[in-house]
Structure 1
Amino acid sequence: MVQNSDWLDSIKFKVKKKPRLYKFLIEVISPVFYFKKSSYQKIFRYLDPKENIIVNIGSGPFRLHDNIINIDISDYTNVDLIANAKKLPLKNESVDGIINVVSLEHINNPELVMDEFYRLLKPGGYIYTALPFIAGYHASPHDYKRWTISGIKNLHNKFSEQEVNVFGGPTSGLVWILTEWLALLLSFRILPLYKALFILFTLILWPLKFLDILLINHPMSNNIASSFYYIGMKKT
């Protein structure tokens, strides 16, 4: 019988309670090399967090800037407001910027969330999202969607596009899938062995992701990129 649950989800939930450990695992040991710092700083070219109201929706335990308001459905460390992204307790046109990083895939109807983002943004405000493309199943607690660049543009069709580019590179996508594939191949359908092998190959293969430093700017890297980011503006 096909397993449709993520056995790592309960582990990830516990680790998220320790932001420093979770950040280390995500940025170093995970199969994906996110160009996070440079990517996030792109939104700061449009908005100054010291002068503008910016919310990070689906923030998890990460705080990107002291002046950015963290919103999440779970009570993690560094979360300022606990709320569901489909119905946020904020006034219409009350924020200058919205950040949402690799969390929309966990929502079964992300179009409703995009409508909510549009409602919250002031005219002339900016949205920054990052969404997965080539990525293994990772429930939190569910996992529904993947997007091509065309799909991302369609999802953000109410906004005026400013930038769309690779967020997690092609090697990251490869390492993620290869880790899963090797664990499947060598576990002989023995679930405990599969879990052990998945962890083993994660620890062995993660350094390969840094090859994305060479590939991230390749003109065709979007064909098998792990994820993309989008920056858009609410039209005035």
Structure 2
Amino acid sequence: MKISKNHHNRKLHNWLAYDIGDQFLIKYVDRYNGTLYDLGCGESPYKDFFLTYADRYVGVDWTGSLHNTKADIAADLNKPFPIESDVADTIVSLSVLEHLCEPQNMLDEAFRILKPGGNIVLQVPWQWWIHEAPYDFFRYTPYGLKYMLEKAGFRDILVEAQSGFFSMWILKANYFSRRLIKGPKPLRWLIGAILSVIWFVNQKTAPLLDKLDRNWDLETSGYYVTARKS
């Protein structure tokens, strides 16, 4: 099931990453309700999906971002939000925390604007390449994520690895091999044709190989985190 309109980001070499993300977003549908704030929303690719479950969607992002934004509220997530307290039933933030130089501020502010009993759903990369440089500051272990969320005041914190070793390794290898497509146009076409077959096979195989990994937490592509404000 493809739930994002952001199809142009799904390339031959990385569609597995988006499929994994979709699986986790679907897993947490019972948490999307009421007024949902998407912190670091970018182009709001999941807006329609979230509105299938939530009553209202509010996108929040920095207007100086390297990517286009469709934010309803312009805000630097490293600073206090221009948002009242206790207004959100749900907060989501996908692949955002690593781009913040003051990530604890975002979590503290998320807690502030969330209503008591409200939920937060986060996704962060772990074994992943530097992206959107120079605004790529951190990678987080499960222990660091739990510490920061507890410090903000959250409870019932659950950190889940989103892939095993093999999916992580294959996606990294695919991103690297994509950079090998260079030279004259006929050569680029030939290399791309060969790699596209390899990419298809390895992304189909990776989830099966992940079953051999007994502890996904150690070497995963990223983590999904859910928590609640008491």
TM-score normalized with structure 2 length: 0.73
Equivalent residues of 2:167, 2:207 under 8 A apart = no
Partner of 1:108 in structure 2? Answer: 101
Q: Counterpart amino acid of 2:57?
A: I
TM-score normalized with structure 1 length: 0.72
Q: Counterpart amino acid of 2:7?
A: K
> What is the number of equivalent residue pairs in this alignment?
205
Pair 1:223-2:218 in alignment: yes
Specify which of 118, 129, 146 is matched with residue 139 of structure 2.
146
Pair 1:58-2:53 in alignment: no
Partner of 2:8 in structure 1? Answer: 24
Q: Counterpart amino acid of 1:143?
A: D
Change (3 A) 1:26 1:76: same
| 1:203 Cα deviation from its structure 2 partner | 5.0
Specify which of 10, 17, 26 is matched with residue 41 of structure 1.
26
Q: Counterpart amino acid of 2:9?
A: L
Equivalent residues of 1:166, 1:216 under 8 A apart = no
In the aligned structure 2, how far is the partner of 1:76 from the partner of 1:163? Answer: 31
In the aligned structure 1, how far is the partner of 2:9 from the partner of 2:36? Answer: 26
In the aligned structure 2, how far is the partner of 1:172 from the partner of 1:56? Answer: 27
SS at match of 1:232: strand
Partner of 2:57 in structure 1? Answer: 68
Equivalent residues of 1:31, 1:175 under 8 A apart = no
Change (3 A) 1:231 1:25: same
In the aligned structure 1, how far is the partner of 2:195 from the partner of 2:77? Answer: 31
Equivalent residues of 1:106, 1:142 under 8 A apart = yes
SS at match of 2:28: helix
SS at match of 2:123: strand
- % of aligned pairs identical? 21
Equivalent residues of 1:57, 1:98 under 8 A apart = yes
Moved over 4 A (4+): 179-184, 199-205, 215-218
Greater Cα offset, 166-175 or 152-161: 166-175
Change (3 A) 1:140 1:181: closer
Structure 1: runs of 5+ lacking an equivalent: 1-18
CA displacement 1:25-45 (0-9 Å, x = unmatched): 237543752422331233321
Q: How does 1:92-103 map to 2 (within 5 A)?
A: 92-103=85-96
Structure 2: runs of 5+ lacking an equivalent: none
SS at match of 2:82: coil
Change (3 A) 1:159 1:31: same
SS at match of 1:154: helix
> Alpha carbon RMSD of aligned pairs, Å?
3.2
In the aligned structure 2, how far is the partner of 1:168 from the partner of 1:82? Answer: 33
Q: How does 1:82-231 map to 2 (within 5 A)?
A: 82-86=74-78, 87-139=80-132, 141-157=134-150, 158-179=153-174, 206-207=199-200, 208-215=202-209, 218-231=213-226
Greater Cα offset, 226-235 or 24-33: 24-33
